[in-house]
Amino acid sequence: MPAKMGRKFQASPLFVRLAVLALVIRFCDAGGIAIYWGQNGLEGTLNQTCDTGRYSYVNIAFLNKFGNGQTPEINLAGHCNPATNGCTIAGSEIKHCQELGIKVMLSIGGGVGNYSIASRKDAKRVAYYLWSNFLGGHSSSRPLGDAILDGIDFDIELGSTQHWENLARYLLGYSKRGRRKVYLTAAPQCPFPDRFLGTALNTGLFDYVWVQFYNNPPCQYSSGNTTNLINSWNQWTTSIEAAKIFMGLPAAPDAAGSGYIPPEVLTSEILPVIERSPKYGGVMLWSKFYDDETGYSSSIKPSV
């Protein structure tokens, strides 16, 4: 006697929609990797950076001279010379990255430079400059060509501690005016609250915050001890009103003075813990040059 043929399963339209929705939610909840690019001419082009498929966010570093009446200057190390309009070639590469779904921000500040915001009025002037030259505004002297960047990253590590919250508010005002959202991101040091950006972060205006959990022994990984790092992460994620918070790390031992975490330690001991936070966004790495040296992002991406 022949065996009965099983009835062929046919998914209902509702089942299919729910399954797709579950995949979308899972994808949206997945973490991403942010990378800083621009401070070493040997780290490859923006096109090459984005074509790796490893990064969801790229911070172009740095606009490191601005504010207090100064003529702003961008420094992209060995990549191009902005004084001769040599960096406008980056415009097509920024667009290429964006076409791949990667958000590209201009990072202002950095560990070396001459920048500050002297007053609320100065913050308004700097915001207008950023909008006109890098975002959705218009200027005859756009340093990175006609590409419209996704937002501004605040990596404020020196100068005045005042008026960064005013700059954030003015930039957000342009977001409401334009056809595209202006993303605000920040890279504070892990001691809480951050000396320079604490007041600005308390505004709740920032979309992504990649905290630098390195060069600060009291709140970083050291010698197999994850306690200080996890405690600091918990403080940041429960105290800051940001859409997503990222763990900022050096991509190589020589990328920072301290705080390097071996990738196997990160993926086995740290990520499973910090991913429980609803504000978990992923990992930020300094920088593309060092990531090329070690392959760090490739090692951790499946777990991020």
Q: At what angle do helices 164-177 and 120-134 cross, to 10 degrees?
A: 40
Structure token digits, residue 53: 């498929």
Write down how long the chain is. 304
- List, as one string, the DSSP characters of 15-46: HHHHHHHHHHHHHHHS-EEEEEESS-TTS--H
Distance CA 64, CA 66 (A): 7
Beta strands in 166-207 (DSSP E): 183-186
Write the CA distances from 31 to 53, 147, 274, integer angstroms. 14, 26, 11
Distance CA 104, CA 97 (A): 7
Structure token digits, residue 129: 């400059």
In Å, how far from its chain's centre is CA 171? Answer: 17
In this structure, what are the phi and psi dihedrals at residue 109, rounded to the nearest 5 degrees? 110, -120
Active site residues: 157
Distance CA 237, CA 229 (A): 12
Distance CA 45, CA 50 (A): 9
Q: What proportions of the chain, in percent to the nearest 5, are helix, strand and coil? A: 40, 20, 40
